[in-house]
Structure 1
Amino acid sequence: MRKNLKIYKQMRRLPFGDKLFSFVVCRLAPYFDSIKPKVTALQPGYAEVKIKKRRRVTNHLNTVHAIAMCNMAELAGGMMTDVSIPVKSRWIPVGMTVEYLKKAKTDLTAYAQGENIDWNTEGDKLVPVEVKDTEGNLVFRAEITMNVRLT
């Protein structure tokens, strides 16, 4: 089992475990702290990340800023990739294509789904991430290219 997945499962059992795990992730990758994410699901092939709509992530239209959604998509896609690839393998995001589909006026959830990706081969993997608002509306979609190297 991947180290991050083991830590996530252990922390999940604690009170506020999701919040604690998310805090640790942000300590290791400080830029993500700008969106105050909460990892709410993590398993091979799937991850969920939530953010609250608050002033620090909004734009001049009082909607969630495009780059905040990019950050949460990258975090969800990266966490899912990390727990999906074989142990001792490495990965790095090398590109991202995004679509802004609707104004993001509420708290948001990013869903990274990689169940149909062959994680046992090297090379670029296209990781789809969808971001939905609290009403379930799709507001943002990303396709993140993750380069995977097997060791």
Structure 2
Amino acid sequence: MRKNLKIYNRLASLPFGRQIFSFIVCRIAPYFSTIKPQIQELKPGYAQVTIKKRRKVTNHLNTVHAIAMCNMAELAGGMMTDASVPDKSRWIPVGMTVEYLKKAKTDLTAVASGDNIEWNTEGDKKVPVEVKDTEGNLVFRAEITMNVRLA
């Protein structure tokens, strides 16, 4: 089992465990801390990340900034990839395409789903991420290309 997934599984059941895990992730990769993400769920093939709509992540329209959504999509996709690839594998994001579908006026939830991805082979993997508002509206969609190298 991958190290990050092991740590998440240990902490998730504790009071404030998900917040502690999210804090640790942001200490390791500091740019993610700009959106103050909360990793709500993590397992092979699935990751869910939330952010609060607050002034620091908004644009001139008072909606969540496009790059904040890219940031949360990359975090969700990366955490899911890390939890899904075989032990000792290496991965890195090498590209991302995004669609801004609707103004993001509320808190947001990003879901990366990789159940249909073959993680036991090398090469580029297309990781889909959807971001929804509190009403369940799809506001943003990303496809992140993760390059996986097996150990």
Query: TM tier, shorter chain?
Result: over 0.9
* Contiguous gaps of at least 5 residues in structure 2: none
Q: Deviations over 1:41-95 (max 9, x none)?
A: 0000000000000000000000000000000000000000001000000000000
| Partner residue, 2:85 | 85
SS of 1:136 mapped into structure 2:
coil
Q: Distance in 1 between matches of 2:149 and 2:12?
A: 29
| Partner residue, 2:128 | 128
RMSD: 0.3
Q: Distance in 1 between matches of 2:18 and 2:44?
A: 17
Letter matched to residue 70 of structure 2 = C
Q: What does 1:39-118 correspond to in 2, within 5 Å?
A: 39-118=39-118
Letter matched to residue 103 of structure 1 = K
Instruction: Number of aligned residue pairs: give it.
Output: 151
Stretch moving more, 52-61 or 12-21:
12-21
Q: Distance in 2 between matches of 1:145 and 1:23?
A: 25
TM-score, normalized by length of structure 2? 1.00
Q: Distance in 1 between matches of 2:100 and 2:127?
A: 17
Letter matched to residue 102 of structure 1 = K
Q: Distance in 2 between matches of 1:44 and 1:14?
A: 20
SS of 1:19 mapped into structure 2:
helix
SS of 1:48 mapped into structure 2:
strand
Q: Distance in 1 between matches of 2:136 and 2:43?
A: 22
Q: Distance in 1 between matches of 2:108 and 2:137?
A: 10
SS of 1:78 mapped into structure 2:
helix
* Contiguous gaps of at least 5 residues in structure 1: none
Cα deviation, residue 13, structure 1: 1.7
Cα deviation, residue 126, structure 1: 0.1
Q: Is 1:24 equivalent to 2:21 in the alignment?
A: no
TM-score, normalized by length of structure 1? 1.00
Letter matched to residue 38 of structure 2 = K
Runs of 4+ aligned structure 1 residues displaced above 3 Å come to none
Q: Distance in 2 between matches of 1:15 and 1:119?
A: 32
